[in-house]
Chain A
């Protein structure tokens, strides 16, 4: 008997910022829509364990997208993208899941994202709480750790968008974000995914991750968790957005819930899903209960 996973992949056309993109997405499950955003420079493959988790998919319609230029979402036709240096900004990051939710006619979905997708969960809760019933920021904060922000885009491109350095090194660099408790095969899978990225895409994504995502203390205080609940999950071994950085955000947002995840790093969804789900499932249960009340 064939061994087939219950994941379906399709392409959808989305127009964002006046440009039409052919976007790849995968989905599994039924129920409350749950949009899933990947990390910078990677793609939706990161969520393969979650899409196979029946405890999630029995109540949630899980939809994982590859941002344009990532995974199976090719660069758009009709745009001479090869004449520009790729860089992603906050407006596009917000508009993209909003447009996907509109086109799929999702009714107040949940959004969960990791790393730059985690920062986005905070921006969505702040900028458009009416669109989402809850957002879950995995490795999110007011801003990424200042030690990395201070590196600057020129040095980021020197490391991650350098003709002298091949993509295997981008994968290797991700070790800095991964807990030493992670199973070796998962570490290598994360590194493989990062080694597969398009040229300059990871560096361009970091423009949002390090610079355009910057939530002020005043903005954080204004997040209305009665409209859109904000959950925060951060791994103990994430040097880019450490638990202390997330705690600084949590201290400002009335009603949000923050949990530090022990023995996990910046990629908890892939590093060790068996550990990550212990933190995720109670959140999803709470969202389901609130949705039914």
Chain B
């Protein structure tokens, strides 16, 4: 089973009030990468998700890149220290997280994204 199920995420995020509000006004791509070969792009226009699928080579203002093992650790129901958040995983476990203004601005959405991914993984 893939560590990220992007269609399940799209379905859940698309009706999640917190995620939808936290993404308001965002224009651009939120990219999730698993290792070097598996990439997903979540595309937004004025805060609305317009697509979710395999990534392309275009620019992404916000991105998270981690190995499959790192994603598994981050998406555990109770992650080990310090896999419990994207930022602590970046600083303490070398997960790659963009450092753009948009990344900081949409951190509430990224936190919620991780919660949804975690719930999806638990649900199988």
Contact = CB atoms under 8 A, between A and B. Distances in A.
B81 interface: yes
A172 B111 contact: yes
A165 B92 CA distance: 24
B101 A175 contact: no
Nearest to B78: A180
A237 B111 contact: no
Interface in A47-82: none
B105 A178 contact: no
Given A147-B92, A165-B101, A236 B87 contact: no
Given A172-B111, A175-B111, A180 B84 contact: yes
B78 A181 contact: yes
B84 A237 contact: yes
Contact of A237 (B82, B91, B101, B108): B82
A179 B81 CA distance: 8
A236 B81 contact: yes
B79 to A, nearest CB: 6
Interface in A150-205: 155, 158-159, 162, 164-166, 168-169, 171-173, 175-181
Contacts of A242: 81-82
A73 to B, nearest CB: 27
Contact of A169 (B88, B92, B99, B104): B104
A166 B105 contact: yes
Contacts of A265: 84
A166 B25 CA distance: 13
Interface in B11-40: none
A166 B106 CA distance: 9
A172 B108 contact: yes
B120 interface: no
A185 to B, nearest CB: 14
Contact of A176 (B78, B87, B105): B87
B87 to A, nearest CB: 4
Interface residues of A, number: 26
A147 B78 CA distance: 23
Given A179-B84, A239-B81, A239-B91, A162 B108 contact: no
Interface in A234-286: 236-237, 239, 242, 265
Given A172-B111, A239-B81, A242-B81, A165 B104 contact: yes
Contact of B105 (A169, A175, A180, A239): A169
Contacts of A148: 91
A93 B86 CA distance: 31
A175 B105 CA distance: 15
Interface in B52-99: 78-79, 81-82, 84-88, 91-92, 99
Given A169-B105, A237-B81, 17 more contacts: A155-B99, A159-B104, A162-B101, A165-B105, A169-B104, A172-B110, A175-B87, A176-B85, A176-B87, A178-B84, A179-B84, A180-B79, A180-B84, A239-B81, A239-B88, A239-B91, A265-B84
Interface of B: 78-79, 81-82, 84-88, 91-92, 99, 101, 104-108, 110-111
Interface of A: 147-148, 155, 158-159, 162, 164-166, 168-169, 171-173, 175-181, 236-237, 239, 242, 265
15 contacts: A147-B91, A155-B99, A165-B105, A166-B105, A171-B108, A172-B111, A175-B111, A176-B82, A176-B88, A177-B88, A178-B85, A236-B81, A237-B84, A239-B82, A239-B91
